[in-house]
Amino acid sequence: MKTSQYNKIFFACCLSLVVTAMTFAIRAGILGELSEEFAFSDTQLGWINSMAFLGFPLATMIGGIIYNQIGAKKLLLIAVIGHLLGLILTIFAGGFWSLLISTFCIGFANGSVEAGANPLIADIYHDDKTTMLNRFHVWFPGGIVIGALIAFAMTRLGIAWQWQIAVMLIPTVIYGYLVSSQAFPSVKNSETSTATNFRSLFSPLYIFMLVCMTLTSTAELGTQQWVERILGDSGAHPMLILAMVTGLMAIGRYFAGPVVHLLNPAGVLLAGSVIATAGIYLMSVSAGGMVYFSALLFAIGVMYFWPTMLGFVSEYQAKTGAMGLSLIGGLGMFSVSIWNPIIGRWLDTAREQALAQGVSIEAADLIAGQATLTNLAIFPGVLIVLFSLLFLYTKRKQQPLESNLASKQAG
């Protein structure tokens, strides 16, 4: 296929990721309205949120297994159907159980996007995988910016949360048309066979990366998904913070190439874990204007986590193929699914303890948010240790290669 055709497919993939991100942002923005309308506790909101992060890994794991048989196009068409069904069911939801089902459908659609697009992009841009995966994943924070600003504006105008959900039907229909009208490249070469992929999943390095992915995804997405509930009484507007954070992440991912080449993927992940830990900790002790500064640190820390984890696996564990990319992305989202109700319970428990001490509701909400952020800072803190080990490992692996190359050049 010609490069122009690949670029059209890449654009369709990016738009599908915009929809994925908008579901994430707008859902985060309407948690307060859902809590008021249906009298939900934060723990119940956590279970609803978890359905999106449960549907996602199921779709990516299934998609990773069948990718070699059906290809990226059919997986992306499954995503279109899932998004349309989930959004419509959400608009007409009447309570807890209907929201669980509709959120699961949206999560399954989001996972289908990742299962189809990640290996496709790694294949068609095989000479620059990490950079192009970062550019693709620009549109996750980019879509969150769009969704956060829509949620902010529509909430300020008093527009019901159902209409905020309905807005997402427009880009869904557009990317559905683009995907259905493009000719996609066929899955090729035997080295990416399902049997080879499966055997390669048991590599110690790949298993190590799976463990790290559970922590990177929770540090990034667990914090962002609860921004409205955590920072609602911090003196800073949560949706503006979300838009600011994800806007910076989008810019950083677009220009990821020089950063990745300078530090190498392991170095990028290590630096990110240090900065993310500092950012989340500072948010836990800040109020007012300082929240914006600490949120910027958080954004710098997590901006490269997800795409660089995928890029690392694609480069250093290439034989895991589509299955490897889908499994690591799915496990990352599954870990967020597990932690969502726990994060909600952290908020409920800390709020109840604060209220028992006689503080106001607003003060109790602030205390609960800060206590929850303190807990969330543990995730990137552990990653500092793990990514230090990974950095040392990759350095040792590179040294013999560099010595051999120097010997050949001297000869």
pTM beyond 0.85: the answer is no
Using a 10 angstrom Cβ sphere, with 0-12 exposed, 13-18 middle and 19 or more buried, the burial of residue 287 is middle
In a domain, 90, yes or no: yes
Distance of alpha carbon 259 from the chain centroid: 20
Is residue 222 a part of any domain in this protein?
Answer: yes
Mean pLDDT in residue range 82-108: 91
pLDDT score recorded for residue 20: 92
Cβ neighbours, 10 Å, residue 99? 23
**408 in a domain, yes or no?**
no
> Average of pLDDT values for 80-90?
94
CA distance 323 to 325: 6
Query: For residue 44, what are the CA distances in angstroms to 31, 35, 38, 40, 357?
Result: 11, 9, 10, 6, 24
CATH number (domain holding residue 287): 1.20.1250.20
CA 313 to chain centroid, in Å, comes to 16
Q: What does the pLDDT average to over 225-243?
A: 72
What's the token pair of residue 107? 């999560």
> Is there a domain that residue 143 lies in?
yes
Mean pLDDT, to the nearest integer, of 319-331?
A: 86
- Report how far residue 358's alpha carbon sits from residue 343's, in angstroms, rounded to the nearest whole number: 23
| Identity of the amino acid at 17 | L
Task: Report the residue count for the chain.
Answer: 411
> Residues 390, 208: contact at Cβ < 8 Å?
yes
Domains: count for the chain: 1
Query: 144 in a domain, yes or no?
Result: yes
**Domain coverage including residue 382:** 3-181+194-399
Query: What's the confidence (pLDDT) of residue 274?
Result: 97
* Contact predicate 224/272, CB 8 Å: no
Range scoring the smallest mean pLDDT among 179-183, 285-289, 331-335, 341-345 = 285-289
Query: For 197-201, 260-264, 282-286, 379-383, which range has the lowest pLDDT when averaged over its residues?
Result: 260-264
> Which two three-digit tokens encode residue 353?
């303890």
In angstroms, the CA 238 to CA 234 distance is 9
- Residue 338 lies inside a defined structural domain of this protein: yes
pLDDT reading at 1 higher than 70? no
Please name which of 89, 329, 62, 85 lies closest in space to residue 221, comparing C-alpha atoms. Answer: 329
Q: Which of 262, 219, 269 is nearest to 388 (CA)?
A: 269
Both tokens assigned to 19: 């929809």
b/e 378-394 (16+ beta carbons within 10 angstroms → b): ebbbebeebbeebbeeb
Tokens of 334: 């599954």
Residue 411 lies in a domain: no
